[in-house]
Amino acid sequence: SQTIHQWPATLVQPVGSPLSLECTVEGTSNPNLYWYRQAAGRGLQLLFYSVGIGQISSEVPQNLSASRPQDRQFILSSKKLLLSDSGFYLCAWSAPWGRESDEQYFGPGTRLTVT
C-alpha cells in the first residue's frame, strides 16, 4: 500500500532563517506531487505541483521554492522565512495522469511557526 511521510511534524524558526520541509511517498512510482499551505481561516492554497523529476509548477509567487530531486521526494524550501510563512504545510500525491489521477492523498502535515 502507498504511504506518504512528511517531516518534521512541527518547526519553529526565526524570521530570516532558511527552511527545508521534506515529503516522501512509498508504494507507487511517478506520482504527481503537491505542496499546499493552510493558513488559519483561509483554507488550503496550492503552492507547487510536480508531474515528474525536476518538473515544478508554481501556483503562487512567493519566497518559497520546491524541488523534486527523486521520483518520490518533494522538498519545500525558503532562503529567508517571513512571518507570513507561518502555517500548516501539507504534501499530497496522486497517481500519474490517466490512472485515477483526480484523487489526492495527503500527508500528516508540518506545522511551521515563524517567530
Partner 1 sequence: AQSVTQLGSHVSVSEGALVLLRCNYSSSVPPYLFWYVQYPNQGLQLLLKYTTGATLVKGINGFEAEFKKSETSFHLTKPSAHMSDAAEYFCAVSFLYSGGGADGLTFGKGTHLIIQP
CB 50 within 8 A of CB 57: yes
- Which residues lie across from 19 on neighbouring strands? 78
Select 75 or 90, whichever has its Cβ closest to partner 1: 90
3-state helix/strand/coil string of the chain: CCEEEEECCEEEECCCCCEEEEEEEECCCCCEEEEEEECCCCCEEEEEEEEECCEEEECCCCCEEEEEEECCEEEEEECCCCHHHCEEEEEEEECCCCCCCCCCEECCCEEEEEC
Contact region with partner 1 (CB under 8 A), list: 14-22, 61-69, 79-87, 102-110: 102-110
Rule CB under 8 A: say whether 7 interacts with partner 1.
no
Rule CB under 8 A: say whether 3 interacts with partner 1.
no
Rule CB under 8 A: say whether 34 interacts with partner 1.
yes
Rule CB under 8 A: say whether 108 interacts with partner 1.
yes
Rule CB under 8 A: say whether 87 interacts with partner 1.
no
Least separation in angstroms between CB 16 and partner 1: 26
Rule CB under 8 A: say whether 16 interacts with partner 1.
no
Residues lying near partner 1 in the complex (CB under 8 A) are found at 32, 34, 36, 41-46, 49, 51, 59, 88, 90, 92, 94, 97-98, 101-109, 111
